[in-house]
Structure 1
């Protein structure tokens, strides 16, 4: 038997104000789209803003449905829109923010497992990492230089 150790490296910003200006702008866009999310059941709003290699910014928010599996997270809404409309343009950065209508969310909220897998697919497809910044409504912001820090053992097309 052999044991391996997997390490993730993340950067933590103490507040939104510590972010580089370009990331603040991207995060502001994710906050604006977050507040337009359709989340009548969970009352948990999520916004995603993607910066593409060509300078375009693609937005997405979570869309719920009374038939729960039929909804879609903000990250996948944005990434699939980017894939459909800009299929050959790399995603460089992703800003995510979450907010609860039930309580003040101050914990940085990372993508769920399904969204991590979708982001992994695009990193593999474009052969470059995607910087991911995530936060709650306020408070600390976490930066990952690649999805591989959040999902180190990805399942990709090499297994198929």
Structure 2
């Protein structure tokens, strides 16, 4: 048996104002997108904002459906929209805000596994890391310099 260590670095910011101004703006747009989420079943709203190299910001919010699992998470809504509308544009950063409408969610909420895999596909496609920032309703923000940090054992096109 051999032990495998996977080193990773994440960064913690105590509040939004500690982030660089462009990322603060992007996170504020993720918060605004979160408020537009359609989440009548889970009462859990998520918003995502993606900054493209050309300066465009693509937004997404989770969209639920009574016929689970027909809905779609905010991160995939945003990244699929970016891929469909700007297929050759590099993703510079992604911000995510998530919160329950039933209680204050103040700890950072990372993307689910399906979203991590989908975001990683775009990181692999562009051959550049995508910094990802995530938070709850307010408070601490976690930054990962790459989606790979959140999903270290990746399923890639070479696996097929």
TM-score, normalising length: structure 2: 0.98
Matching residue of 1:62: 62
**Secondary structure, aligned partner of 2:6:** coil
Query: What's the offset of the Cα at 1:55?
Result: 0.8
In 2, Cα distance between equivalents of 1:118 and 1:81: 12
Q: Deviations over 1:34-77 (max 9, x none)?
A: 10100000010000000001110000000000011100000000
Give the root-mean-square deviation of aligned CA atoms. Answer: 0.7
Matching residue of 2:47: 47
In 2, Cα distance between equivalents of 1:106 and 1:29: 18
Matching residue of 1:9: 9
**Secondary structure, aligned partner of 2:51:** strand
Query: What's the offset of the Cα at 1:120?
Result: 0.7
Structure 1, unaligned runs of 5 or more = none
In 2, Cα distance between equivalents of 1:144 and 1:104: 23
In 1, Cα distance between equivalents of 2:124 and 2:33: 27
Structure 2, unaligned runs of 5 or more = none
Q: Deviations over 1:3-42 (max 9, x none)?
A: 2101221000011111111111000101111101000000
**Secondary structure, aligned partner of 1:69:** coil
Matching residue of 1:132: 132
Runs of 4+ in 1 over 4 A off after TM superposition: none
TM-score, normalising length: structure 1: 0.98
Query: What's the offset of the Cα at 1:99?
Result: 1.4
Query: What's the offset of the Cα at 1:126?
Result: 0.6
Matches within 5 A, 1:60-139: 60-139=60-139
